[in-house]
Structure 1
Amino acid sequence: MSQSQFNLLGKRRFLPFFVTQSLGAFNDNIFKQSLILAILYKLTIDGDRSIYVNLCALLFILPFFLFSALAGQFGEKYPKDKLIRMIKVLEIGIMVVGAVGFLFDHLSLMLAALFAMGTHSALFGPVKYSILPQHLHENELVGGNGLVEMGTFLAILAGTIGAGIMMSAAHYAPIVSTAMVLVACLGYLASRGIPPAAAASPEMRLNWNIFSESWATLKLGLGQTKAVSRSIVGNSWFWFVGAIYLTQIPAYAKEFLYGDETVVTLILTVFSIGIAAGSMLCERLSGRKVEIGLVPFGSMGLTVFGLLLWWHSGEFPQNVQANNWLAVLGYGQAWWVLFDILGIGVFGGFYIVPLYALIQSRTPEKERSRVIASNNILNALFMVVSAIVSIIFLSVVKLSIPQLFLVVSLMNIAVNTYIFKIVPEFTMRFMIWLLSHSMYRVEHRDLEQIPDEGAALLVCNHVSFVDALLIAGSVRRPIRFVMYYKIFNLPVLNFIFRTAGAIPIAGRSEDLMIYDQAFKRIADYLKDGELVCIFPEGKLTTTGEIDEFKGGMTRVLQETDVPVIPLALQGLWGSFFSRDPDKGVFRRLWSRVTLVAGPAMPGDESEPALVRERVAALRGNVR
């Protein structure tokens, strides 16, 4: 029985870490947001205040570029639980320095503390994401990442609201200073409950040359498989886009909504709620597995809502005095702006959570911390570039902030088109996900019968042209499908089948070469420990009943003795892609389809007739 991802919050292997990282994000945001609001509204500053706001973004991100490689080495050489506690002690010291800066209105001291806090976060990042696969099961990874992202952005929300409230007080400095130090101490106390997480490579020799090691770490990350390396690029692009939005929101609220500090808080609150909601929905939409098909969906939403935000940002009614958040909500146009920002947040969650989960799940354990460190280096580079790009477009080209949002939305199309072209698996999984969440409601039963690793032959009844897509969208592991070559060559579906490494097969009398090549590829995939799925009927059913299983299955098992997992599809007969003569385009639209798995059968005992009986029993009377 599947459990909610929220059950992880009741487990010691997750809760103390979750609280620790959430408090860290909360403290980051209290400090950064309070400093930005102080620059915009409180401190006496000569010159353009927006330059100091962008300087804050630059100072916080620069340590990720400088120290992530060192952090990646630390994350593999030392036990992660002890490392987290040491980093939390460092946070306490940094917050003491920042508190002194606020108490004496010393901008340089506050900026130095901001750089140090960026260093703290750079050291924490590789440990934060590499510890999850050590403490979570594979089917908990998406849910755990979703909770982490939710916790991070709800912490940002709480920190944003807290900073806005504290900065609105007449004597804000002692309040902000006390809060920062107190939260840092609570974070350290929470870290003491994190269970042991052994070092992945305790024998590693540290390279203290941050430049050579940064280059080596970056090459390690980008040298992974295309799916992982381009996921790192996509992840970094998300932070480029996110950094531009988050950095410009305070000035946007002031200059285009004519708002005060409470309007900044309102916008960041809506954005954070959107990210949290999108992150939490990922597990439900992905079926508790790493579903990278959500990434193109998230990318489309980021572009659409970014364009809408630009469209809805013009000619906002101006007040003589600055609007507070209640006054802003009195304008209908403000609701459209907030809706657009919420949409950017939700689709940002759809985009980023699967990318993090894919990087964690497809990276070797002994390299995971350094790969995540390489991701952080690239993130930092993209975010530093985002600050420079913002300064150039706003100060040199003289674009408005909404026009900057327009440019970023158009750039998002180009960048993600490149990523999806290089790694067509993203597009393939998106099409599979779209099919299984639009025309059909797919349910699963007993899929834990399919092994998490090792070779197996999946055997299923054949009801429709999209059987393979529905099975692929339901099973966590990649599957190599054997299918009739004429179905393999269908327009549009052929792209998906080729990308998934499907195996076309013809009858011996139709094309002997295709026939023999198919069995050779099946044997190779099974010897490599992969899952192969066949439809032994050899053709789609024309009656809704299960036809005789052909002898090709016997040849496969004679060449490679692997366990056989019987599968059954229920509810597809009569749908648009079946051969039911009475089907219609809209008949049984969004119909309920169930995929059922049975216990494994030894390969040497899997006669076609016996396997057919098992599949028929699993399917029952539901055609």
Structure 2
Amino acid sequence: MSHEHPNQFALLKQRRFAPFFWTQFLGAANDNVFKFAFTLMVTYQLQLSWLPPQMAGLVIGALFILPFVLFSATSGQLADKHDKARLMQLVKSLEIAIMALAAWGFYAAHVPTLLACVFLMGLHSTLFGPVKYAYLPQQLNERELTGGNGMVEMGTFVAILLGQLAGGVLVDTPVVGPQHVAWACLALAVLGRLTAQGIPASPSTDPGLKINWNPVTETWRNLRLAHEQLAVFRSLLGISWMWFFGAVFLANFPAFAKEVLHGGPQVASLLLAVFSIGIGIGSLLCELLSKRHVEIGLVPLGAIGMSVFAIDLYFASTGLPPAAELSVAAFLAQPAHWRVLADLTLLALFAGLYSVPMYALIQLRAQPTHRARIIAANNILNALFMIASSLIAGALLGAGLTIPEVFLAVGIANAIVGIYIFLIVPEYLLRFAAFVLTRLIYRFRIVHDERIPTSGPAVLVCNHVSFVDAVLLMAASPRPIRFLMDHQIFKIPVLGWMFKLAKAIPVAPQKTDPATYEAAFTAARAVLADGEMVCIFPEGGITRDGELQPFKGGVMKLIDGLPDVPVIPMALGNLWGSYFSRVEGGHAMVKPLRRGLWSRVSLTVDEPLQAAGVTPELLHARVRATLALDLPGLGVPA
């Protein structure tokens, strides 16, 4: 696949993405036009003894979520078994039938029919969800996944916002409001079916799959499957936590606007608008900040921002003076309210930074044959976490906490959950450290990063210039690397702890510690056998004069008997003389900011070699040639 387009918005001009994007956008918009209009109709226009207004939103929300719990396991299997484009087209045809029934319900003001349609639209979304997220990695490559997911996330929240605003306006039209809603929903369903027709074929990843119709056993099986890849499983839990976190705010916006901010219904809509815009901006920023890779280093950054601004929202919204019901203009006229809006926008922005890389990581690392089923399991977890969110938030409010205090509690809980996740899956923390190093301390340019494979075993061979070479390589790679590193480096404070977290393999010279030497290469070969990447610095130590040292024979021991494993020469440029390199009498880390912040460094990736034809001398020559091409501080032109 080509990835020459300049940014994620260029995907909207390509058939592999644009019809899919507009199909999911129209579906999300239709969900919200229908649900929000129906909720307002029951709340304000109909008098039903069996469905009081204060219960309408809860009942409609629960009916919509219920199919996710009941049918996600089945929908994930269907998405893995069948062509995803065809499945999306069938789901969109089902949406037209549901909206035709709902149109009759709106005309007749028949609430039981409309409640049934809420459940059926939940079923529609349940069927569409796994297909949606399993379709993207079939059509987009690793460099496009983050941007594509960011576009989908942004589009979904914009569609939710526009759908709710349109639903509210249409249903409020005197006399004919429900009929207008009926025609709008039917039109959106037909438009969605038309755009779905343009989605290109996406062949089945497991055509021989036998459907297990038992949702309980299938869900459990999928969760166990995801648990085999710890980073994938923890990402499922991380995304579900994000929905728990977000649901607390979304569910309480109306009451927060009325009771705390003293605003009218339009102020509640304003809160929803800034929250949706924040999510959209954060989702779109992911591609820019990640330099078009799946960069899970953004996840800790997102978690930090979510907690900081959730906690600040508590302080911003306590002690506001009582007032009569404020219009939007009167609300915006008070400076104190701008801090509330800023907190909500930034909280949502960081939630976008938090969630998009997790979705992309699941798509990239989940087994392709089981990808849709794992995403379906995630949808079930999301639904359960959202239900738990409603129950816990309700219990806290019932116990006497104010809405700002609930926001404070969730912000603190988010910090605790984040610390827990990042300690048990240190890859997030390591990638965050690499992200900070390559964005704040250095300006890091990577040339030909597409030569680093996104799957399968590989041996990376690189010159050794500084104590953070491994961290820079982590930042450049789309997936984890296991490093063979001098055992002495593990004694360095902070860096040693970080490399232990990264599961670096300590190696000692064969003459001084033959047992550690043999154990290191046994462990490294086992990593390659598991289909993962190993990096070795063949010089055997960090250069003391900035020159490339002779390559030792350890790399030959590593690839012995593995003739088909690719060996990829790499060159780090312009690191000599930086804080982490050995200068001034052979000492490193003696003058902080020796070259200031944002000094330019580069990594250039050479063409892969087959292990069968590799020698230390050949690798040395390739790395030396790459270094010679490297323009100081700029890297080789791509």
TM-score by length of 1: 0.93
Write out aligned runs for 1:298-309 (5 A): 298-309=302-313
* TM-superposed deviation, 1:17: 0.9
In structure 2, what is the Cα distance between the partners aligned to 1:462 and 1:440? 17
In structure 1, what is the Cα distance between the partners aligned to 2:169 and 2:377? 37
Q: Which whole-Å deviations, capped at 9, do the CAs of 1:167-226 have from their partners, x for residues lacking one?
A: 5544532332322221111111111111122233333333334444444444444x4321
Aligned to 2:379: 376
Worse overlay, 528-537 or 290-299: 528-537
Write out aligned runs for 1:214-253 (5 A): 214-221=219-226, 223-253=227-257
Write out aligned runs for 1:331-370 (5 A): 331-370=334-373
Aligned to 2:128: 124
Aligned to 1:161: 165
Aligned to 2:576: 573
Counterpart contact for 2:65–2:383, Cα < 8 Å:
yes
Q: Please give the secondary structure, in 1, of the residue aligned with 2:151.
A: helix
Aligned to 2:539: 537
In structure 2, what is the Cα distance between the partners aligned to 1:178 and 1:87? 20
Residue 519 of structure 2 is aligned with which of 517, 520, 527?
517
Write out aligned runs for 1:56-135 (5 A): 56-135=60-139
Identity %: 46
Residue 14 of structure 2 is aligned with which of 11, 15, 36?
11
Q: Please give the secondary structure, in 1, of the residue aligned with 2:568.
A: strand
In structure 2, what is the Cα distance between the partners aligned to 1:110 and 1:21? 22
Write out aligned runs for 1:196-595 (5 A): 196-221=201-226, 223-320=227-324, 322-394=325-397, 396-558=398-560, 560-561=562-563, 562-581=565-584, 584-588=591-595, 589-595=597-603
Q: Residues 475, 382 of structure 1: CA spacing in aligned structure 2 closer, same or farther, 3 A cutoff?
A: same
Counterpart contact for 2:44–2:53, Cα < 8 Å:
no
Q: Residues 38, 313 of structure 1: CA spacing in aligned structure 2 closer, same or farther, 3 A cutoff?
A: farther
Counterpart contact for 2:140–2:148, Cα < 8 Å:
yes
Counterpart contact for 1:78–1:199, Cα < 8 Å:
yes
Counterpart contact for 1:287–1:474, Cα < 8 Å:
no
In structure 1, what is the Cα distance between the partners aligned to 2:358 and 2:558? 36
Q: Does 1:622 align with 2:632?
A: yes
Look up the equivalent residue of 2:441 and give its one-letter code: M
Q: Does 1:142 align with 2:146?
A: yes
Q: Residues 499, 246 of structure 1: CA spacing in aligned structure 2 closer, same or farther, 3 A cutoff?
A: same
Runs of 4 or more above 6 Å deviation: 45-48
In structure 2, what is the Cα distance between the partners aligned to 1:39 and 1:309? 32
* TM-superposed deviation, 1:468: 0.7
Q: Residues 308, 99 of structure 1: CA spacing in aligned structure 2 closer, same or farther, 3 A cutoff?
A: farther
Q: Residues 308, 44 of structure 1: CA spacing in aligned structure 2 closer, same or farther, 3 A cutoff?
A: farther
Look up the equivalent residue of 2:598 and give its one-letter code: W
In structure 2, what is the Cα distance between the partners aligned to 1:605 and 1:366? 34
Q: Residues 457, 385 of structure 1: CA spacing in aligned structure 2 closer, same or farther, 3 A cutoff?
A: closer
In structure 1, what is the Cα distance between the partners aligned to 2:610 and 2:123? 55
Worse overlay, 459-468 or 522-531: 522-531
Q: Which runs of 5+ in 1 are unaligned?
A: none
Q: Residues 554, 415 of structure 1: CA spacing in aligned structure 2 closer, same or farther, 3 A cutoff?
A: closer
Aligned to 2:636: none
Counterpart contact for 1:39–1:53, Cα < 8 Å:
no
Q: Please give the secondary structure, in 1, of the residue aligned with 2:317.
A: coil
Q: Please give the secondary structure, in 1, of the residue aligned with 2:212.
A: coil
In structure 2, what is the Cα distance between the partners aligned to 1:463 and 1:277? 38
Q: Does 1:185 align with 2:190?
A: yes
* TM-superposed deviation, 1:120: 1.4
Counterpart contact for 1:164–1:262, Cα < 8 Å:
no
Look up the equivalent residue of 2:621 and give its one-letter code: E
* TM-superposed deviation, 1:549: 2.6
* TM-superposed deviation, 1:5: 2.0
Worse overlay, 239-248 or 517-526: 517-526
In structure 2, what is the Cα distance between the partners aligned to 1:564 and 1:149? 37
Q: Residues 38, 246 of structure 1: CA spacing in aligned structure 2 closer, same or farther, 3 A cutoff?
A: farther
Worse overlay, 350-359 or 598-607: 598-607
Counterpart contact for 2:570–2:603, Cα < 8 Å:
yes
Q: Residues 344, 45 of structure 1: CA spacing in aligned structure 2 closer, same or farther, 3 A cutoff?
A: farther
In structure 1, what is the Cα distance between the partners aligned to 2:326 and 2:491? 61
* TM-superposed deviation, 1:445: 0.6
Q: Does 1:25 align with 2:25?
A: no
CA RMSD between the two structures: 2.5
Counterpart contact for 2:562–2:612, Cα < 8 Å:
no
Look up the equivalent residue of 2:391 and give its one-letter code: I
Q: Please give the secondary structure, in 1, of the residue aligned with 2:496.
A: helix
In structure 2, what is the Cα distance between the partners aligned to 1:409 and 1:349? 16
Look up the equivalent residue of 2:166 and give its one-letter code: G
Q: Residues 564, 79 of structure 1: CA spacing in aligned structure 2 closer, same or farther, 3 A cutoff?
A: closer
Q: Please give the secondary structure, in 1, of the residue aligned with 2:603.
A: strand
Aligned to 1:55: 59
Q: Residues 490, 2 of structure 1: CA spacing in aligned structure 2 closer, same or farther, 3 A cutoff?
A: farther
In structure 1, what is the Cα distance between the partners aligned to 2:412 and 2:84? 40
* TM-superposed deviation, 1:338: 0.9
Counterpart contact for 2:301–2:353, Cα < 8 Å:
yes
Q: Which whole-Å deviations, capped at 9, do the CAs of 1:455-500 have from their partners, x for residues lacking one?
A: 4332222111100110111022322212211113322223332233
Aligned to 2:181: 176
Look up the equivalent residue of 2:592 and give its one-letter code: V
* TM-superposed deviation, 1:604: 5.3
In structure 2, what is the Cα distance between the partners aligned to 1:254 and 1:139? 45
Look up the equivalent residue of 1:175 and give its one-letter code: H
Q: Residues 275, 440 of structure 1: CA spacing in aligned structure 2 closer, same or farther, 3 A cutoff?
A: same
Look up the equivalent residue of 1:378 and give its one-letter code: L
Q: Residues 619, 411 of structure 1: CA spacing in aligned structure 2 closer, same or farther, 3 A cutoff?
A: same
* TM-superposed deviation, 1:359: 1.5
* TM-superposed deviation, 1:392: 2.4
Q: Residues 122, 477 of structure 1: CA spacing in aligned structure 2 closer, same or farther, 3 A cutoff?
A: same
Counterpart contact for 2:434–2:474, Cα < 8 Å:
yes
Q: Please give the secondary structure, in 2, of the residue aligned with 1:508.
A: coil
In structure 1, what is the Cα distance between the partners aligned to 2:225 and 2:483? 32
Q: Residues 523, 211 of structure 1: CA spacing in aligned structure 2 closer, same or farther, 3 A cutoff?
A: closer
Worse overlay, 501-510 or 520-529: 520-529
Look up the equivalent residue of 1:622 and give its one-letter code: P
Q: Which whole-Å deviations, capped at 9, do the CAs of 1:534-566 have from their partners, x for residues lacking one?
A: 222222222222233334334445554444322
Q: Which whole-Å deviations, capped at 9, do the CAs of 1:56-76 have from their partners, x for residues lacking one?
A: 322221211111122122222
Q: Which runs of 5+ in 2 are unaligned?
A: 634-638
Counterpart contact for 2:19–2:196, Cα < 8 Å:
yes
In structure 1, what is the Cα distance between the partners aligned to 2:388 and 2:434? 35
Look up the equivalent residue of 2:333 and give its one-letter code: G
